[in-house]
């Protein structure tokens, strides 16, 4: 067993099994502050200089999910085992159990990609090539309710962004997750095996919904027979949306409405329970009648497809058009949840 394989297994054991019991009876922001402080205390001065940036740094709103040689923050691989554990405790505090499980397995899919590409791909595939950045003064924020601080956890196919203020997690978007392969089709010798499908519910529930539409409904919901190549607004600090497209919630029957709520829940529930509840209450306050579902592309798996779900203050986008490294078509998912009232806790430009 080679050195990389041993490192991956050690990381997996900590990430999957070692953190479940570390959730405390506190708000998500209070937990995050506790674990952010512990993480900072574990770092050297040189590491802190890399991890901590001013809250108003332009890099706070600079996000992306593509492979990069360098990113803001400190990479997990550049940490000791105890520092890496502290960083993952912080991430775990910022997510629900389901959200953390998805994020962890997305990181471990890098190991699958490395095996599929036989280590000869353009980019290094490494489940520890994910970066942690803290923005602002975490210690000051503990005693000053007006002082915000932020967290970014980012790497290939994962960009998670958070802002805390006054003991509350006030924003948790952009929330981007992706998988390649979307479904692991073959046996592997690595941590994640054949049949792994991390974002399966985001895809299959939406297929169930679009295929439950009758001809008249589908004509309204389907905005194009061709799926776009990518989600919109990738890497942009704020999405610039126009009028909603697709079929309105009121145009669905009760069973279809329940399916649409189930799709939305997959994204909402990545956040901790308290935040997920706030997201749901916001949708309800804005009115379910203002939610629209739009589809583009094929109506069956294996051919490029896309959907978006739009409310007054949220946007979901999902696309699966790219092949995996083995050439399996439409086996590479990108999906995102965004806050139309302002990602990164920023006001929306008029």
> For the segment 213-252, what is each residue's pLDDT rounded down to a tens digit?
999 999 999 999 999 999 999 999 999 999 999 999 999 9
pTM: 0.94
Q: What's the pLDDT at 350?
A: 66
- Please give the Cα distance from 104 to 267 (Å, whole number): 16
Cβ atoms of 150 and 69 within 8 Å: the answer is: no
Q: Return the SS3 of 230.
A: coil
Q: What percentage of the chain's residues is helix, strand, coil (to nearest 5)?
A: 40, 20, 40
Greatest CA span in the chain, whole angstroms? 63
- Please give the Cα distance from 335 to 306 (Å, whole number): 10
Which 8-state DSSP code applies to residue 191? S
Q: What's the pLDDT at 25?
A: 58
CB-facing half-sphere around the CA of 127: CA atoms within 13 A: 30
278, 88, 257: which is closest to 173 by C-alpha?
278
Q: Which burial class, exposed, middle or buried, applies to 2 when counting CB atoms under 10 A from its CB (0-12, 13-18, 19+)? A: exposed
- Please give the Cα distance from 110 to 155 (Å, whole number): 10
Inter-axis angle of helices 97-116 and 81-94, to 10 degrees? 130
Whole-angstrom CA distances from 335 to 63, 136, 285, 319 are 14, 28, 25, 6
Q: What's the pLDDT at 16?
A: 41
Q: Return the SS3 of 349.
A: coil
Q: What's the pLDDT at 24?
A: 47
Query: pLDDT under 70 in the chain at which residues?
Result: 1-25, 350
Q: What's the pLDDT at 198?
A: 98
Give pLDDT tens digits for 281-314.
999 999 999 999 999 999 999 999 999 999 999 9
Q: How many CB atoms lie within 10 A of CB 20?
A: 11
Q: What's the pLDDT at 26?
A: 84
Cβ atoms of 341 and 321 within 8 Å: the answer is: no
Interior CA angle at 70 toward 68 and 74, to 5°? 125
Q: What's the pLDDT at 304?
A: 98
Whole-angstrom CA distances from 348 to 237, 239, 345 are 10, 9, 9
- Please give the Cα distance from 9 to 141 (Å, whole number): 36
Q: How many CB atoms lie within 10 A of CB 186?
A: 13
């Amino acid at each position: 067993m080679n050195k990389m394989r041993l490192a991956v297994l050690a990381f997996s054991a900590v990430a999957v099994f070692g953190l479940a019991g570390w959730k405390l009876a506190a708000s998500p922001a209070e937990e995050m502050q506790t674990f952010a402080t512990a993480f900072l205390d574990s770092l050297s001065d040189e590491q802190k200089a890399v991890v901590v940036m001013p809250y108003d740094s332009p890099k706070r709103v600079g996000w992306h999910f593509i492979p990069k040689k360098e990113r803001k923050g400190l990479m997990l691989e550049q940490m000791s085992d105890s520092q890496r554990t502290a960083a993952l405790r912080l991430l775990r505090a910022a997510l629900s159990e389901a959200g953390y499980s998805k994020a962890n397995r997305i990181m471990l899919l890098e190991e699958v990609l490395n095996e599929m590409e036989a280590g000869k791909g353009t980019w290094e595939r490494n489940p520890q090539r994910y970066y942690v950045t803290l923005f602002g003064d975490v210690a000051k924020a503990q005693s000053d309710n007006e002082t915000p601080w932020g967290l970014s956890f980012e790497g290939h196919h994962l960009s998670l962004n958070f802002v805390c203020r006054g003991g509350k997690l006030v924003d948790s978007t952009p929330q981007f997750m992706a998988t390649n392969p979307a479904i692991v089709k073959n046996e592997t010798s690595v941590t994640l095996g054949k049949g792994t499908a991390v974002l399966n519910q985001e895809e299959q529930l939406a297929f169930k919904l679009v295929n439950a539409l009758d001809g008249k409904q589908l004509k309204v919901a389907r905005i194009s027979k061709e799926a776009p190549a990518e989600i919109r607004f990738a890497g942009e600090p704020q999405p610039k949306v126009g009028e909603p497209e697709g079929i309105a919630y009121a145009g669905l029957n009760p069973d279809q409405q329940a399916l649409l709520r189930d799709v939305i829940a997959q994204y909402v529930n990545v956040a901790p329970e308290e935040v997920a509840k706030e997201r749901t209450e916001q949708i309800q306050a804005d009115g379910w009648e203002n939610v629209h579902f739009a589809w583009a592309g094929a109506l069956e798996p294996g051919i490029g497809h896309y959907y978006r779900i739009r409310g007054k203050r949220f946007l979901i986008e999902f696309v699966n058009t790219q092949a995996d490294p083995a050439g399996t078509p439409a086996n590479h998912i990108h999906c995102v949840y965004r806050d139309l009232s302002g990602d990164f806790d920023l006001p929306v430009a008029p």
